[in-house]
Amino acid sequence: MAASLPTRRELFQAAGAIAGAAFVSGCQSQLNKSEAGNQAPADYILRIAVKPVELAPNRIVSVTAFNGQFPGPLLRLKEGQRVTVDIHNDTDTPEQLHWHGQFVGTDVDGAAEEGTPFIPPRGSRRISFVPKPAGYRFYHTHVRAGANLSAGQYSGQVGPVYIEPASNPGNYDREVFLTLKEFEPTFSRGGDMAMDFLAPATTVEELKNQGESAMKESLAKGMPHGFEVGYGSFTINGRMLGSGEPVRVKQGERILFHMLNGSATEIRSLALPGHSFNVIALDGNPISKPVSVPGLWLGTGERVSAIVEMNHPGVWIMGDTANDDREHGMGIVVEYAGKSGKPQWIAPRKFSWNYAQFGNGGAAPPAPDQTFDMTFAKQNAAQDGFNLWTINGAAFSEQQMQPMFRVMQGKRYRLRMRNASDDIHPIHLHRHSFELTRVAGQPVSGVRKDVAMVGGYQEMEVDFVADNPGLTLFHCHQQLHMDFGFMALFEYA
Ligand SMILES: [Cu+2]
């Protein structure tokens, strides 16, 4: 965060300068290795390597990260303007870099399940794509971590992407990007705490019976609870609360915050005492009109863009509403010019999160050409002590890579998802976006996303148009769930 108060233009220039710096160092490395031949230099260079990251004074962790920093560099791309990116892998394991939320091809998307080639250990890959759609996206590793808590998204391989729209009304003074992410993961057998912030809270009796009886049966056989993951440190932009630069603001400013939950496994909340969030986009996609909320909830992989009017001078903690997580670092100080003192936290009143409030309240979406039913279920501790996850009774097999659903280009499909577990699943569809059409029994329209949380024992329906041919991965964005079965492939006929 800059110490002074840069204008939007200065920020753009700074972003350009950072991109330029990456460009220069990349040229040098290419010359050193003389591997590029006559190839033109790439627009961006991302280098995957294990590096020390300082979360707080005297708290340094060694993680795999992009360009030696966490989060990875902010990439500001232009919608429709082709870019080339060189991705170097300085580790000993094959990597995948996924362009989350973008409509790219399978050769670029960064999912081995779709056929994207790996970035080989100690090797590199050049990719080229046309950024779209405009809005807040991100990039992250997409390899299976399994029981390895230094791999996959347990590592530091997460970075923001902002795709500039062709025209931007920009009703704000400046932007601040915040990436929420935990470090120092460990396994536990505790069982996740049930979270009840989703609204409506309508559950389906049949799903509840199914989930609870499966769990009872497993425990009766003497099985322990499946592994969960907990964390030792919590950060925003890689710094624990109080350790990084505050967000310095002036009274009257309108700041557009771009929040990303970069966690491997956790759902996060965020509040700023005395302020409200005017949400303008979800997962980078504009909503029909701004909606003011007292706080935010973000599943893994979800993004919220919200304008905060700085009209309550002081020194505040913008932080997670979970006291334990905030006290272990999940927060950032917001400091008004001319104010000093200890940053203050005031717990907000409990607030729920209803995707429908961001809808346009308009006509029902068009009827789909076909509906796919999906039931999510958990087999407690069924695979080496890990919970095994199934979609319609099948856990995804990395050996067989068998597509489960078939679509035809141009048709509209509805996913009718039924969650027979008590966990919330932030489901994600690659290379497409979807429109929420029903959340826990409640009709919705006009909310386009690429990740959405399906509540415990709840139902959700989303529609997507099959408009980007090639294998398309669907999965839960919770690393521990996707790694143990919670994936399915769509193929185009
Ligand atoms: Cu899940």
pLDDT at 190 (0 to 100): 67
Contacts of 92 (CB under 8 A, 6+ apart): 121, 122
Average pLDDT over residues 381-401: 95
Q: Which of 24-33, 156-165, 197-206 has the lowest mean pLDDT?
A: 24-33
Q: How far is the CA of 145 from the centre of ligand 1 (A)?
A: 15
Q: What is the pLDDT of residues 259-275, one digit of tens each?
A: 999 999 999 999 999 99
Report residue 334 as tokens: 């917001």
C-alpha 427/C-alpha 431 separation (Å) is: 14
State how far Cα 412 lies from the chain centre.
Answer: 25
Q: Which of 30-39, 111-120, 252-261 has the lowest mean pLDDT?
A: 30-39
Q: How far is the CA of 48 from the centre of ligand 1 (A)?
A: 27
Q: How far is the CA of 159 from the centre of ligand 1 (A)?
A: 22
What are the start-end ranges of the H helices in 423-486?
Answer: 479-482
pLDDT at 17 (0 to 100): 37
C-alpha 23/C-alpha 393 separation (Å) is: 48
Cross-strand partners of 45: 86
pLDDT band at 256 (very low <50, low <70, confident <90, very high): very high
C-alpha 207/C-alpha 370 separation (Å) is: 23
Sheet of 405-407: strands edge to edge? Answer: 405-407, 487-492, 472-476, 425-429, 451-454
Q: What is the pLDDT of residues 414-439, one digit of tens each?
A: 999 999 999 999 999 999 999 999 99
Q: How far is the CA of 264 from the centre of ligand 1 (A)?
A: 11
* One-letter amino acid for residue 384 of the chain: D
DSSP 8-class letter at 457: T
Q: How far is the CA of 265 from the centre of ligand 1 (A)?
A: 8
pLDDT at 189 (0 to 100): 82
On average, the pLDDT of the chain sits at 92
Q: What is the pLDDT of residues 307-354, one digit of tens each?
A: 999 999 999 999 999 999 999 999 999 999 999 999 999 999 999 999
- Best CA proximity match to 465, nearest among 429, 424, 434: 434
Report residue 393 as tokens: 């009774």
pLDDT at 235 over 80: yes
pLDDT at 26 over 60: no
Q: How far is the CA of 376 from the centre of ligand 1 (A)?
A: 9
Q: How far is the CA of 425 from the centre of ligand 1 (A)?
A: 4
- Best CA proximity match to 183, nearest among 218, 146, 158: 158
Q: How big is the chain, counted in residues?
A: 493
DSSP output for 217-235 = HHHHTTPPPPPEEEEEEEE
DSSP output for 43-62 = SEEEEEEEEEEEEETTEEEE
pLDDT at 32 over 90: no
- Best CA proximity match to 451, nearest among 341, 307, 272, 304: 304
C-alpha 461/C-alpha 370 separation (Å) is: 12
Q: What is the pLDDT of residues 114-143, one digit of tens each?
A: 999 999 999 999 999 999 999 999 999 999
Output the CA torsion sign for 239, 241, 243, 249.
Answer: positive
C-alpha 22/C-alpha 69 separation (Å) is: 12
Q: How far is the CA of 424 from the centre of ligand 1 (A)?
A: 6
pLDDT at 298 (0 to 100): 98
pLDDT at 377 over 90: yes
C-alpha torsion 245→48→64→483, nearest 10: 120
Average pLDDT over residues 456-471: 98
Report residue 356 as tokens: 């429908």
Q: How far is the CA of 372 from the centre of ligand 1 (A)?
A: 19
pLDDT band at 37 (very low <50, low <70, confident <90, very high): low
pLDDT at 33 (0 to 100): 38
Q: How far is the CA of 278 from the centre of ligand 1 (A)?
A: 28
* One-letter amino acid for residue 359 of the chain: G
pLDDT at 12 over 80: no
- Best CA proximity match to 232, nearest among 269, 187, 183: 183
pLDDT at 191 (0 to 100): 60
Average pLDDT over residues 451-455: 98
C-alpha 159/C-alpha 69 separation (Å) is: 9
> Could you give the percent of the chain with pLDDT greater than 70?
91
pLDDT at 457 (0 to 100): 97
pLDDT at 22 over 50: no
Q: Which of 25-29, 258-262, 484-488 has the lowest mean pLDDT?
A: 25-29
- Best CA proximity match to 454, nearest among 194, 192, 198, 153: 198
pLDDT at 296 (0 to 100): 98
pLDDT at 164 (0 to 100): 93
pLDDT at 166 (0 to 100): 78
